[in-house]
Protein backbone atom coordinates (compact mmCIF):
# COMPACT_ATOMS: atom_id res chain seq x y z
CA UNK A 1 0.00 0.00 0.00
CA UNK A 2 1.35 3.42 -0.84
CA UNK A 3 0.90 4.61 2.76
CA UNK A 4 -2.04 6.83 1.86
CA UNK A 5 -5.50 5.69 2.82
CA UNK A 6 -8.45 7.06 0.94
CA UNK A 7 -11.89 7.75 2.40
CA UNK A 8 -13.14 4.27 1.51
CA UNK A 9 -10.22 2.64 3.33
CA UNK A 10 -10.98 4.82 6.35
CA UNK A 11 -14.65 3.76 6.30
CA UNK A 12 -13.58 0.11 6.15
CA UNK A 13 -11.18 0.59 9.06
CA UNK A 14 -13.81 2.45 11.10
CA UNK A 15 -16.23 -0.46 10.70
CA UNK A 16 -13.59 -3.10 11.48
CA UNK A 17 -12.50 -1.19 14.60
CA UNK A 18 -16.10 -1.35 15.79
CA UNK A 19 -16.62 -5.02 14.89
CA UNK A 20 -13.88 -7.11 13.26
CA UNK A 21 -16.22 -10.11 13.15
CA UNK A 22 -18.34 -8.60 10.38
CA UNK A 23 -18.74 -10.86 7.38
CA UNK A 24 -17.26 -9.48 4.17
CA UNK A 25 -20.79 -9.10 2.80
CA UNK A 26 -21.88 -7.03 5.83
CA UNK A 27 -18.71 -4.94 5.74
CA UNK A 28 -19.07 -4.28 2.01
CA UNK A 29 -22.69 -3.26 2.52
CA UNK A 30 -21.80 -0.82 5.31
CA UNK A 31 -19.08 0.90 3.24
CA UNK A 32 -21.04 0.80 -0.04
CA UNK A 33 -18.69 -1.44 -2.01
CA UNK A 34 -19.03 -4.72 -3.80
CA UNK A 35 -17.92 -7.75 -1.78
CA UNK A 36 -14.88 -8.31 -4.03
CA UNK A 37 -13.75 -4.68 -3.98
CA UNK A 38 -14.07 -4.61 -0.20
CA UNK A 39 -12.19 -7.92 0.16
CA UNK A 40 -9.35 -6.63 -2.05
CA UNK A 41 -9.00 -3.47 0.03
CA UNK A 42 -9.02 -5.38 3.32
CA UNK A 43 -6.47 -7.87 2.00
CA UNK A 44 -4.25 -5.03 0.74
CA UNK A 45 -4.40 -3.31 4.15
CA UNK A 46 -3.54 -6.61 5.87
CA UNK A 47 -0.60 -7.28 3.53
CA UNK A 48 0.77 -3.75 3.97
CA UNK A 49 0.51 -3.94 7.75
CA UNK A 50 -2.17 -1.27 8.17
CA UNK A 51 -4.37 -4.01 9.64
CA UNK A 52 -2.08 -5.89 12.04
CA UNK A 53 -4.63 -8.44 13.22
CA UNK A 54 -8.18 -9.05 14.34
CA UNK A 55 -8.93 -9.83 17.96
CA UNK A 56 -11.76 -10.34 20.42
CA UNK A 57 -12.02 -7.68 23.11
CA UNK A 58 -12.61 -9.44 26.41
CA UNK A 59 -14.23 -7.86 29.46
CA UNK A 60 -11.54 -7.88 32.21
CA UNK A 61 -14.19 -8.09 34.93
CA UNK A 62 -15.55 -11.29 33.38
CA UNK A 63 -12.09 -12.83 33.85
CA UNK A 64 -11.71 -11.62 37.41
CA UNK A 65 -9.21 -8.91 36.44
CA UNK A 66 -11.05 -5.96 37.89
CA UNK A 67 -8.07 -3.85 38.94
CA UNK A 68 -6.30 -1.71 36.37
CA UNK A 69 -2.95 -0.32 37.52
CA UNK A 70 -0.56 2.22 36.05
CA UNK A 71 2.96 1.42 37.19
CA UNK A 72 5.56 4.18 36.97
CA UNK A 73 9.19 3.09 36.88
CA UNK A 74 12.50 4.88 37.18
CA UNK A 75 15.78 3.11 36.67
CA UNK A 76 19.42 3.99 37.17
CA UNK A 77 20.46 1.32 34.67
CA UNK A 78 20.50 2.29 31.01
CA UNK A 79 22.77 -0.45 29.74
CA UNK A 80 21.78 -2.73 26.85
CA UNK A 81 21.90 -5.84 29.06
CA UNK A 82 19.52 -4.26 31.61
CA UNK A 83 17.18 -3.16 28.82
CA UNK A 84 17.20 -6.68 27.35
CA UNK A 85 16.37 -8.17 30.76
CA UNK A 86 13.65 -5.59 31.39
CA UNK A 87 12.03 -6.14 27.98
CA UNK A 88 12.16 -9.93 28.42
CA UNK A 89 10.56 -9.58 31.85
CA UNK A 90 7.80 -7.33 30.50
CA UNK A 91 7.03 -9.74 27.66
CA UNK A 92 6.97 -12.73 30.04
CA UNK A 93 4.48 -11.23 32.51
CA UNK A 94 0.94 -11.55 31.13
CA UNK A 95 -0.44 -9.06 33.65
CA UNK A 96 1.40 -6.32 31.74
CA UNK A 97 -0.92 -5.32 28.92
CA UNK A 98 1.02 -2.22 27.89
CA UNK A 99 4.60 -1.03 28.37
CA UNK A 100 5.98 2.32 27.31
CA UNK A 101 9.45 3.89 27.44
CA UNK A 102 8.97 7.53 28.32
CA UNK A 103 10.60 10.93 28.05
CA UNK A 104 10.73 13.20 31.10
CA UNK A 105 10.91 12.17 34.75
CA UNK A 106 9.71 8.59 34.28
CA UNK A 107 11.61 5.95 32.38
CA UNK A 108 8.72 3.49 31.87
CA UNK A 109 4.98 3.25 32.40
CA UNK A 110 3.29 -0.13 32.53
CA UNK A 111 -0.41 -0.87 32.18
CA UNK A 112 -1.22 -3.86 34.37
CA UNK A 113 -4.40 -5.90 34.90
CA UNK A 114 -4.82 -7.95 38.07
CA UNK A 115 -7.70 -9.19 40.22
CA UNK A 116 -7.15 -6.93 43.21
CA UNK A 117 -4.56 -5.22 45.42
CA UNK A 118 -3.22 -8.59 46.60
CA UNK A 119 -2.83 -9.61 42.98
CA UNK A 120 -0.89 -6.42 42.35
CA UNK A 121 1.36 -7.14 45.34
CA UNK A 122 2.17 -10.59 43.96
CA UNK A 123 2.89 -9.03 40.55
CA UNK A 124 5.08 -6.34 42.14
CA UNK A 125 7.17 -8.89 44.04
CA UNK A 126 7.73 -10.98 40.91
CA UNK A 127 8.68 -7.89 38.89
CA UNK A 128 11.25 -6.54 41.35
CA UNK A 129 12.76 -10.02 41.78
CA UNK A 130 13.44 -10.23 38.05
CA UNK A 131 14.97 -6.85 37.26
CA UNK A 132 16.54 -4.13 39.44
CA UNK A 133 14.59 -0.85 39.54
CA UNK A 134 15.52 2.46 41.14
CA UNK A 135 11.94 3.48 41.92
CA UNK A 136 8.52 2.01 41.27
CA UNK A 137 5.14 3.42 42.15
CA UNK A 138 1.62 2.46 41.21
CA UNK A 139 -1.68 4.20 40.77
CA UNK A 140 -4.87 2.17 40.89
CA UNK A 141 -7.50 3.18 38.35
CA UNK A 142 -10.68 4.19 40.14
CA UNK A 143 -12.85 4.70 37.05
CA UNK A 144 -12.16 3.97 33.39
CA UNK A 145 -13.64 6.99 31.70
CA UNK A 146 -12.48 5.95 28.24
CA UNK A 147 -10.78 2.75 27.11
CA UNK A 148 -10.65 2.01 23.42
CA UNK A 149 -8.53 0.26 20.85
CA UNK A 150 -10.02 2.34 18.01
CA UNK A 151 -7.60 4.79 16.43
CA UNK A 152 -8.82 8.17 15.15
CA UNK A 153 -9.36 7.99 11.40
CA UNK A 154 -9.50 11.64 10.44
CA UNK A 155 -8.64 12.82 6.96
CA UNK A 156 -5.15 11.92 5.75
Domain count, the chain: 2
Question: Do 71 and 31 reside in the same domain of the chain?
Answer: no
Question: Do 113 and 93 reside in the same domain of the chain?
Answer: yes
Is 53 domain-assigned? Answer: no
Q: What is the pLDDT of residue 4?
A: 84
- Domain holding 104, by residue range, is 60-140
Is 152 domain-assigned? Answer: no
Q: What is the pLDDT of residue 78?
A: 87
Question: Do 116 and 73 reside in the same domain of the chain?
Answer: yes
Residue 74 confidence (pLDDT) above 60: yes
User: pLDDT band for position 156 (50/70/90)?
Assistant: low
Half-sphere exposure of 55 (CA within 13 A, CB side): 8
For the whole prediction, is pTM greater than 0.75? Answer: yes
Is 122 domain-assigned? Answer: yes
Rounded Cα gap, residues 137 and 153, in angstroms: 34
pLDDT tens sequence across 108-146: 999 999 999 999 999 999 999 999 999 999 999 999 999
Is 149 domain-assigned? Answer: no
Residue 75 confidence (pLDDT) above 60: yes
CATH of residue 84's domain is: 3.30.70.920
Q: Is 42:22 a contact under the CB 8 Å cutoff?
A: no
Amino acid sequence: MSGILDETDRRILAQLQLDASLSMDALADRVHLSRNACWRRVRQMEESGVIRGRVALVDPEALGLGLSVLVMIRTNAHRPDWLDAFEATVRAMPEIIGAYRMTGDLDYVLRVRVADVRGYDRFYKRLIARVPLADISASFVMDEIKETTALPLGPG
